[in-house]
Amino acid sequence: MAEMTLLEAVNLALHHEMASDPKVIVLGEDVGDNGGVFRATVGLKDKFGCKRVIDSPLAEALIGGVTVGMASQGLRPVAEFQFQGFVFPALEHLMCHAARMRNRTRGRLTCPAVFRAPFGGGIHAPEHHSESVEALFTHTPGFKVVIPSSPQRAYGLLLAAIRSNDPVMFFEPKRIYRTVKSNVEDNGNALPLDTCFTLRKGRDITLVTWGACVVESLQAADELSKQGIEAEVIDLASIQPLDMRTIFASLEKTGRLLVVHEACKTGGVGGEIIARTAEHAMCLLKAPPKRVTGMDTVMPYYRNEDYFMLQEADIIAAARELVEGWK
Amino acid sequence: MNIQAMPMHRFIDHKGTLVTPLPAWLSHDMLVSYYRDMVLTRVYDNKAVALQRTGKLGTYPSHLGAEAIGIAIGRTLKSDDVFIPYYRDMPAMWARGIAMEKNLQYWGGDERGSDFHSESAPHNRPSRDLPFCVPIATQCTHAVGVAAALKIEGGHHAALVTCGDGATSKGDFLESINCAGSWNIPLVFVINNNQWAISVPREIQCGAEFLADKAKGAGITGITVDGNDVVAMLDAVKTALEQAYRGKGATLIEAISYRLSDHTTADDASRYRSEDELQQAWQYEPISRLKQYLINAGRWTEQDETELLELCRKDVEAAVERYLAIIPQAPESAFDYLYESLSDDLHQQRDAIINKAMRMQGAKHG
């Protein structure tokens, strides 16, 4: 077992699965000699050769479409988009074809592909490099949507994504690519893609979050604990399908729901979680559910970026309001 | 401009005259066989339009005028090759061994139309061919992925993808031929240049004289072929596939044809296309020229024609009967192929549609 970053865990999972399954192919721009813009694919080409680690032309629609074509023939391609904001040229392939291949052929052909993309803000990146659009793909039937928030879960979830017979959008929170470290054992054990993870037990409030916001949510929970409020923190991890059972079980204890995500508020996944809670578990709630989310704006250029990133204090304030205002 | 008068790969002209000696590998018996295939698909096409007009089929895109292109592709591809069609490719799919009623099922609103086996594939196994592609040109990028997969697998197989002239304006097409050149993959592109992308004519798609000229910029072979001449199409597709099998890379075939129909049954081409132009195009269509050639060669008679048409009508009617007898899919089937397995929430939605369908059927019957 070795301590590593989330980025290194992604790389480890790719190494593991390419070694154990010859059908796994990695493709994208810069993934070969350069090892990807963030170095997630470093060393793969040396180990597995240029037939399995394929540098593509600079054409995202092509990357999306080629991945669909490869997957339709039984390969397990793992495509890398350099940033989530660069997935947009490939949307037609993802939504019209990848997500629908199994359905439109009644299972004759499938699309066992993984589409990886770093996402989110907070690294002072240029325009179009800070998107958080997981809701877009969650709203598209046929996809699984997965977001790891720790090295250990990045390793296990990526293995599961590659082994999945359904197409998976795998979004990596680049803000914590190198800042979060944990021990990861290269044991080939995949994590489930339909379960969220309870990271911290608590009795007073349930914080549901994912991606880089898990860091601030855990910090907020620690601070709240000092103030006498015990928060249960749930890392959603699998955005689609949504594991509401774990959330409802937590609400049975806490009765208070706070969803924290970096993506825009309107139409976001937080709204879906709260809607399902209202539909199926309203009686568990002691207070109206609440969201701490990104603003409904375009992410500003980096000089103003910090004002728009979620802070630990935002979460603490919302949690206190929920607990203290609704006693 | 009379596009048919422009220089292109051709063996039999529009009057049925041999202008280039037939390829050595092609016999008159084979030509008669291909002629029969082409006539069958035209009879089918007419029937499909009639079915749509009488409410027994959904919106349907006729392939009238594209018979030579489709039959050449379908009869030349080998069983282990992979075909990536666009939505006007019924002749090629049929010639490849896909049952006619599968096509009716697809345009009749039943997803099982894309769940086909191929009679040409060993052991009648599920075909690896992709389903019809409706979004324009996206299938070209899928074909690059398929061809790359075939190259990774090893062996001597190829992929063949088709598109219309309108598709060549899209980035997907250009990205695909560009990548095919740089990756040196076993792939054949066939453009059915039928001169119209719904109402937009060929000259608005691109300023190049020939769409095949785009191949040069991609570093692949390009050839312009008379798409109404089945011999020229057979020869071009065969040559391109052999090049692909030998690891010599991709080919772009521009097949010059003409869309003798409306874009689909939902379209009225008389709004934007002159009757004179249509009538002129009929002078060049693929079936009459081959018939005339075979008659001139002493290999076909009007008696043969009468018997063939009767046989085709019987075959098509039998396919239509099989199509109309197909039991509808269960409403919940929309859930059954969405994922490999369903989440709890989708199970609940699946149950809901079953209950709703039962209520609606109960109301209808009682």
Q: Which of B106, B133, B175, B182 to mutate to test the interface with A (most CBs of A within 10 A)?
A: B175
Residues of B with CB below 8 A from A96's CB?
135, 138
**CA-based nearest residue in chain A for residue B179:** A57
Residue A129 designated active-site: yes
User: Residue B110 above 80 pLDDT?
Assistant: yes
Task: Report d(CA A94, CA A96) in Å as an integer.
Answer: 6
A74·B338 Cβ contact <8 A: no
Q: Mean pLDDT across the stretch B78-84?
A: 95
**Phi-psi sector, A185: left (phi>0), alpha (psi -120 to 50), beta:** beta
Query: Which residues are CB-neighbours of A164 under 8 A, at least 6 positions away?
Result: A112, A114, A144, A193, B340
Q: What's the whole-number average pLDDT of chain A?
A: 97
Residue pointed to by tokens 């970096």 = A262
A61·B338 Cβ contact <8 A: no
CB A112 within 8 A of CB A166: yes
- Nearest CA to B115 out of A98, A108, A71 is that of A108
**CA-based nearest residue in chain A for residue B141:** A65
Position B263 scores a pLDDT of 95
User: Residue A169 above 80 pLDDT?
Assistant: yes
Position A246 scores a pLDDT of 98
Position B364 scores a pLDDT of 78
**CA-based nearest residue in chain B for residue A280:** B345
A102·B339 Cβ contact <8 A: yes
Position B311 scores a pLDDT of 98
User: Residue B313 above 80 pLDDT?
Assistant: yes
A105·B114 Cβ contact <8 A: yes
First to last CA, chain B: 63
User: Residue B286 above 90 pLDDT?
Assistant: yes
The phi, psi pair for B172, rounded to 5°, reads -55, -40
Of all residues in chain B, the percent with pLDDT exceeding 90 is: 93
- Written as one string, the DSSP assignment of B124-137 is GPBP-PPPPB-SSS
Q: Mean pLDDT across the stretch A296-315?
A: 94
Q: Could you tell me the pTM of the whole model?
A: 0.96
B16-40 residue pLDDT tens:
999 999 999 999 999 999 999 999 9
Residues of A with CB below 8 A from B152's CB?
25, 51-52, 75
Q: Which of B111, B115, B172 sits opposite A61 (nearest CB)?
A: B172
Pairing state of beta strands A53-55 and B196-197? unpaired
Position B294 scores a pLDDT of 98
Task: Report d(CA A160, CA A154) in Å as an integer.
Answer: 10
Position B118 scores a pLDDT of 64
Per-residue tokens: A103: 């359905």
- Nearest CA to B95 out of B141, B157, B33, B152 is that of B33
A65·B112 Cβ contact <8 A: no
Q: How far is B337 from chain A (nearest CA, A)?
A: 5
Q: Which of A59, A103, A241 sits opposite B345 (nearest CB)?
A: A241
A70·B182 Cβ contact <8 A: no
Three-class SS of residue B115?
coil
Position B298 scores a pLDDT of 97
Query: Which residues are CB-neighbours of A129 under 8 A, at least 6 positions away?
Result: A83, A85, A123
Q: Mean pLDDT across the stretch B120-144?
A: 85
B337·A93 Cβ contact <8 A: no
Q: Which of A59, A104, A107 sits opposite B175 (nearest CB)?
A: A59
The phi, psi pair for A154, rounded to 5°, reads -60, -45
Q: How far is A149 from chain B (nearest CA, A)?
A: 23
CB A32 within 8 A of CB A45: yes
Q: Which of B150, B337, B344, B346 to mutate to test the interface with A (most CBs of A within 10 A)?
A: B337
A16-71 residue pLDDT tens:
999 999 999 999 999 999 999 999 999 999 999 999 999 999 999 999 999 999 99
The residue from A16, A129, A139, A261 that is catalytic is A129
B161-201 residue pLDDT tens:
999 999 999 999 999 999 999 999 999 999 999 999 999 99
Q: Which of A57, A59, A75 sits opposite B152 (nearest CB)?
A: A75
DSSP character at residue A94: I
User: Residue B274 above 60 pLDDT?
Assistant: yes
Position B117 scores a pLDDT of 80
Per-residue tokens: B102: 């599968």
* Cα angle: A36, vertex A37, A40; to 5 degrees: 45
User: Residue A72 above 60 pLDDT?
Assistant: yes
User: Residue A326 above 80 pLDDT?
Assistant: no
- When mean pLDDT is compared across A140-154, B121-135, B227-241, the lowest value belongs to B121-135
Position A107 scores a pLDDT of 95
Position B290 scores a pLDDT of 98
Residues of A with CB below 8 A from B338's CB?
102-103, 141-142
Position B126 scores a pLDDT of 74
User: Residue B121 above 60 pLDDT?
Assistant: no
Per-residue tokens: B93: 């799919």
| Confidence tier at A77 by pLDDT (50, 70, 90) | very high
Per-residue tokens: A42: 């470093």
Identify the bridge partners of residue A323 per DSSP, sorted by sequence position: none
Q: Which of A69, A109, A142 sits opposite B141 (nearest CB)?
A: A69
DSSP character at residue B339: S
A207-262 residue pLDDT tens:
999 999 999 999 999 999 999 999 999 999 999 999 999 999 999 999 999 999 99
CB B214 within 8 A of CB B177: yes
**CA-based nearest residue in chain A for residue B131:** A105
| Confidence tier at A327 by pLDDT (50, 70, 90) | low
Note the ipTM here: 0.95
Q: What's the whole-number average pLDDT of chain B?
A: 95
CB B144 within 8 A of CB A73: no
Neighbours of A313 (CB within 10 A): 12
CB A135 within 8 A of CB A177: no
A109·B128 Cβ contact <8 A: yes
Type of residue at B221? T
| Confidence tier at B265 by pLDDT (50, 70, 90) | very high
Per-residue tokens: A293: 């989310």
Q: Mean pLDDT across the stretch B63-80?
A: 97
Output B353-357 pairs: Cβ under 8 A, ≥24 positions apart: B354/B330, B356/B331, B357/B330, B357/B331, B357/B332
Give chain B's length: 366
- Could you give the C-alpha distances from B354 to B332, B340, B359, in angstroms and in order? 6, 20, 9
Q: How far is B134 from chain A (nearest CA, A)?
A: 9
Q: Which of A57, A72, A74 sits opposite B178 (nearest CB)?
A: A57
Position A274 scores a pLDDT of 98
Q: How far is B173 from chain A (nearest CA, A)?
A: 9
Q: Mean pLDDT across the stretch A174-181?
A: 96
